[in-house]
């Protein structure tokens, strides 16, 4: 197993753990308050976690157990697809009101993301993830403008880094054998780490359960 | 400036906060007092109060004139959890 493949697997597994912890936290919040927003965040982080897990465990399985030299691309596509579901729920929570502004300049940036990688499902999914994450980042920055909550900046930075990571992953189509994918996964892990900051502010206690009865 | 609507959960949070921090006397807060402080209609408040009492988050006390409401220990725990997770959702620019 090449070092770079091993490192990519390890980073994906780290993403799996980070996403899982965030998902569990959101689930505890949903269980305690019955809030639909926390339910959506719960689905979102579990999807992101499973997406990372599929890639990480898939790479490990194919390399160690099956002994493949070349890793199947469908594993990567499946994992990225599941992660995209998670990014969609973050964006959905913000309410997708005006997804495509009328600005021609904006369209000129967004359109190539759909047109250029038309021959690859993985890259189409990545471009969708990128758009969803950029949308989430912008909405979070706008929320910071309103509430001036310091944690919001960390979340905006986290979503921004996830978007950058997706963009670098998508851009690796240009340099397929380079370390670009490794850098992409590392950036996404740092982004997920930044989403951890708000959790440190919340005391994790058992508390009463109310579910959807409230 | 855009109008911001409160979610069902935040109205519950406001009612519980009022019954915890702003009750006029030991016997609790009256419906009229809660309508004014939590800024909700009588019809909506009645339904919410009924739910909160049935879930054990509020205690209903009877005085000479009308029913009054006081936060229970369970309600205090809920309010603490709600505030913590509201902070978490706020960080994402979302409301619970």
The answer to whether B30 touches B44, Cβ cutoff 8 Å, is no
Whole-number pLDDT of residue A123: 73
Taking the C-alpha atoms of residue B58 and residue B72, their distance in angstroms, rounded to an integer, is 5
pLDDT of residue A208: 55
B75 assigned to some structural domain: yes
Smallest Cβ–Cβ distance between B90 and the set A94, A147, A210 belongs to A147
Q: Which of A139, A202, A207 sits opposite B93 (nearest CB)?
A: A139
d(CA B46, CA B55): 14
Please give the structure tokens belonging to residue B79. Answer: 């309010």
A187-207: per-residue pLDDT in tens?
A: 999 998 898 888 776 665 555
Better-scored residue on pLDDT, A94 or B28: B28
pLDDT (0 to 100) of residue B54? 93
Q: CB of A208 within 8 Å of any CB in chain B?
A: yes
Judge whether B16 lies within some domain: yes
Of residues B55 and B24, more confidence is placed in B55
Could you tell me which residue, B73 or A33, shows the higher pLDDT?
A: B73
Residue B67 in domain: yes
Q: Is residue B1 part of a domain?
A: no
Looking at the partner chain, which of B81, B93, B94 has a beta carbon nearest the beta carbon of A32?
A: B81
Nearest CA in chain B to A33: B82
| B9 secondary structure, DSSP code | H
A200/B contact by beta carbon, under 8 A: no
Chain B hits for A140, CB-CB cut-off 8 Å, are 92-93
Q: Write down the domain spans for chain A.
A: 3-207
Tell me the backbone φ, ψ of residue B67, rounded to 5 degrees: -75, 145
Closest CA to A26 of A11, A9, A42: A42
CB contact A210 to B (< 8 Å):
yes
Residues 6 or more apart whose CB falls under 8 angstroms from that of A39 comprise A26, A30
Spans of chain A below 70 pLDDT? 1, 95-120, 173-174, 176-177, 201-214
Q: Do A166 and A188 touch, CB atoms closer than 8 A? A: yes
The interface pTM score, or ipTM, of the predicted complex is 0.74
B16: tokens are: 């519980």
**Residue B31, domain member (yes or no):** yes
CB proximity under 8 Å: A 36-95 to B: 37-38, 41, 90, 93-94
Helices and strands counted in chain A (H then E)? 7, 0
Query: CB contact, 8 Å: B85 with chain A?
Result: yes
Between strands B29-30 and B58-62, the pairing is unpaired
Q: How many inter-chain contacts (A to B, CB under 8 Å) are there?
A: 103
For residue B63, the enclosing domain spans 8-91
Distances (CA, A) of B12 to B16, B20, B47, B58: 6, 12, 11, 11
Q: How confident is the model at residue B94 (pLDDT cuts 50, 70, 90)?
A: confident
CATH (domain of B44): 1.10.10.10
Interface contact A21, partner B, CB < 8 A: no
Question: Measured between alpha carbons, how far is B74 from B61 in angstroms, rounded to an integer?
Answer: 16
The total of structural domains in chain B comes to 1
- Count of CA atoms in the C-beta half-sphere (13 A) of A210: 27
CA A195 to CA A52: how far, in whole Å?
16
* Cβ atoms of residues B15 and B34 within 8 Å: yes
């Amino acid at each position: 197993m090449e070092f770079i493949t091993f490192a990519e697997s390890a980073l994906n597994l780290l993403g799996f753990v980070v996403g899982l912890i965030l998902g569990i936290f959101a689930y505890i919040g949903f269980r305690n308050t019955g809030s639909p927003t926390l339910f959506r965040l719960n689905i979102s982080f579990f999807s992101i976690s499973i997406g990372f897990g599929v890639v990480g465990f898939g790479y490990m399985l194919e390399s160690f157990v099956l002994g493949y030299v070349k890793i199947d691309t469908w594993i990567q596509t499946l994992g990225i697809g599941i992660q995209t579901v998670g990014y969609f729920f973050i964006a959905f929570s913000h309410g997708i009101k005006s997804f495509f502004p009328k600005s021609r300049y904006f369209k000129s940036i967004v359109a190539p993301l759909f047109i250029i990688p038309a021959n690859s499902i993985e890259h189409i999914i990545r471009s969708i993830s990128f758009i969803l994450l950029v949308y989430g980042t912008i909405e979070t920055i706008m929320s910071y403008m309103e509430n001036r909550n310091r944690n919001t900046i960390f979340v905006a930075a986290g979503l921004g880094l996830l978007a950058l990571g997706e963009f670098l992953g998508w851009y690796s189509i240009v340099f397929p054998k380079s370390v670009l994918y490794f850098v992409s996964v590392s950036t996404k892990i740092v982004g997920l780490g930044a989403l951890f900051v708000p959790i440190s502010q919340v005391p994790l206690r058992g508390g009463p359960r109310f579910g959807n009865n409230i | 400036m855009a109008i911001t609507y409160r979610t069902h959960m935040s109205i519950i949070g406001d009612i519980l906060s009022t019954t915890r921090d702003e009750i006029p006397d030991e016997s609790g807060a009256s419906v009229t007092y809660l309508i004014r402080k939590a800024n909700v209609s009588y019809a909506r408040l009645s339904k919410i109060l009924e739910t909160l009492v049935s879930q054990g988050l509020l205690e209903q006390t009877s005085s000479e004139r009308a029913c009054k409401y006081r936060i229970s220990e369970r309600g205090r725990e809920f309010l603490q959890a709600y505030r913590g997770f509201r902070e978490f959702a706020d960080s994402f620019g979302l409301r619970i």
